[in-house]
Structure 1
């Protein structure tokens, strides 16, 4: 038996306790900018596309049908020439969507809030990246002295083997905290789940899975992480392609696909009543005679772990299951809630009494 106080696991259990959830899905071709704006900032403009310097191409974000997902997705196009950064900077290119000051309040993360961001993306098999930077996702603050540098970036970088980098800062000195070889995900639809508690004593977790196989190819979690930049008004996400032209010979025209953007505020205040409402009838166990508890209703293929809470909804930890047997050594006499999960969703809640 082992204990791991995991915020990612905790969020899985309480995903149904949501203040608000915003979904951005692609529709049929046409009106793409209007569709995006209607969700992320009704009546305003969240598109940062290079149309101003490349109007003959048309809109740089389109809605197209994808056979693998069997639905419409967003296609972000970028061209080595003449695309630039909003006709303001010519040493880089930007084609991104965002939330910002004119977005509804429920799309702006404030200090103390926990937010889950989810989306899918697909890089072409022959995707080329810069040795300077190619960002495909950022978490940025608005306001304060550090607003110009993102707290979190997913950056693609050219090297002996091209990599995806997870980069972080709470001030102005960003550093890479984890990498993966980019070939692992080129040509594949990937689903990203990112969970952030926005606080100086916050937390950060991210997971990338191949959609077709559900294989986890990248993950990172830090439960004690400064996720608030001083004097910030709020934090927000950005998605798209933002790349340097310092080594334009390494680049080519690209089309990056995105789908199913989700922004969801999570309520971390799990109460005993919420657990009780979900629980099936209790299981009684004698501490004096039993060391292992067998859960016949939970199949190994469904679960390999469960999360335990005490009777007052305090998180005890995450416990392993071995062939449906749960080692209860070390647990005191009392009432508990066992919460089992499968594919990031609550599978079963059982009230468990040791007497």
Structure 2
């Protein structure tokens, strides 16, 4: 910008302030206050992971989440289990996570389950790791197919897990579960540091099938943490699942940090009830502290 223009602009602002009677220290304080108000309104954006079109999907995910952030069964079934396609409902590119009943397992390590997930972990940037006392907002979209079939044991779509210490069991899980006589549910599950498991919220899985939903999850991590989640149908804004707790055990003994996982992680118990599955995800965001998902 031209230096003379800046000088003229500043002079004009000062003249305008004088014309309106803003003089002396009071005038300067008022002008300073207005400037502070403007600065306070500037929001720092969170970290976003958005599909950008077919090809190079693993590299895209790793470039945002760090390291090798994809947990996939490509070792036994040689194909990419996370891909990108254009979705006509959202009118944008999205991620597609795949699980195949007879071909996939859990990374050639466990064979009674299947895993296609992304995560943050030790190799991720520090601003993607939640520390004790920190508040983090997670936002994402997902869609279950209209014919989606859940396992009677578990089909995890999202987890919040600790790293190090007592880190085997998730703190929070969003889980689809088969139920007899058309009672399939979407379950929000909390496990405290003593190992007590509570299904804190249930919703009919039929509400999710065939619909894009957006999830906003805000967590203050700690032994006396706070948790808030809202799941809305994108087409009309209907709330399908919501839960809030202002005193929740959201930490693990010996943990270095907590992190999110998204994808398909399902049991092969009663595999006859399952089918090859694709779950679509889009617009992941992680925002620490006062940062915002936009």
Q: In 2, are the aligned partners of 1:120 and 1:189 still within 8 Å (CA)? A: yes
**Aligned equivalent of 2:273, options 236, 247, 250:** 250
Q: Counterpart of 1:211? A: 234
Q: Counterparts of 1:166-315 in structure 2 under 5 Å?
A: 166-171=188-193, 172-267=195-290
Q: In 2, are the aligned partners of 1:122 and 1:257 still within 8 Å (CA)? A: yes
User: Equivalents in 2 of 1:175, 1:16: separation in Å?
Assistant: 39
Q: Counterpart of 1:156? A: 176
1:116 aligns with 2:137: yes
Q: Counterpart of 1:139? A: 160
Q: Counterparts of 1:46-85 in structure 2 under 5 Å?
A: 46-55=69-78, 58-85=79-106
**How far apart are residue 17 of structure 1 and its match?**
5.1
Label 1:236 to 1:197 Cα distance change in 2 as closer, same or farther (>3 A).
same
User: Equivalents in 1 of 2:198, 2:134: separation in Å?
Assistant: 24
Q: Which has the higher strand share?
A: 1
User: Equivalents in 1 of 2:184, 2:43: separation in Å?
Assistant: 39
**How far apart are residue 16 of structure 1 and its match?**
5.9
**How far apart are residue 170 of structure 1 and its match?**
2.2
User: Equivalents in 1 of 2:94, 2:152: separation in Å?
Assistant: 28
Q: Which moves more between the two structures, 210-219 or 92-101?
A: 210-219
TM (normalized to structure 1)? 0.69
Q: In 1, are the aligned partners of 2:201 and 2:241 still within 8 Å (CA)? A: no
Q: Counterpart of 2:31? A: none
Helix, strand or coil: the match of 2:206? helix
Structure 1: 4+ residue segments shifted above 4 A: 14-18
**How far apart are residue 231 of structure 1 and its match?**
1.4
1:96 aligns with 2:121: no
Q: In 2, are the aligned partners of 1:15 and 1:266 still within 8 Å (CA)? A: no
Q: In 1, are the aligned partners of 2:133 and 2:221 still within 8 Å (CA)? A: yes
- Unaligned 5+ residue runs, structure 2? 1-39
Q: Which moves more between the two structures, 175-184 or 234-243?
A: 175-184
**How far apart are residue 173 of structure 1 and its match?**
3.0
TM (normalized to structure 2)? 0.83
C-alpha RMSD of the superposition: 1.7
User: Equivalents in 2 of 1:15, 1:85: separation in Å?
Assistant: 45
Higher RCO, 1 vs 2 (CA within 8 Å, ≥6 residues apart): 2
Q: Counterpart of 2:22? A: none
Label 1:70 to 1:246 Cα distance change in 2 as closer, same or farther (>3 A).
same
Helix, strand or coil: the match of 2:75? helix
Label 1:261 to 1:143 Cα distance change in 2 as closer, same or farther (>3 A).
same
User: Equivalents in 1 of 2:244, 2:116: separation in Å?
Assistant: 29
User: Equivalents in 2 of 1:71, 1:267: separation in Å?
Assistant: 28
**How far apart are residue 155 of structure 1 and its match?**
0.6
Q: In 2, are the aligned partners of 1:140 and 1:151 still within 8 Å (CA)? A: yes
Q: Which has the higher helix share?
A: 2
1:37 aligns with 2:62: yes
User: Equivalents in 2 of 1:45, 1:88: separation in Å?
Assistant: 17
Q: In 2, are the aligned partners of 1:17 and 1:266 still within 8 Å (CA)? A: no
Q: In 1, are the aligned partners of 2:224 and 2:249 still within 8 Å (CA)? A: yes
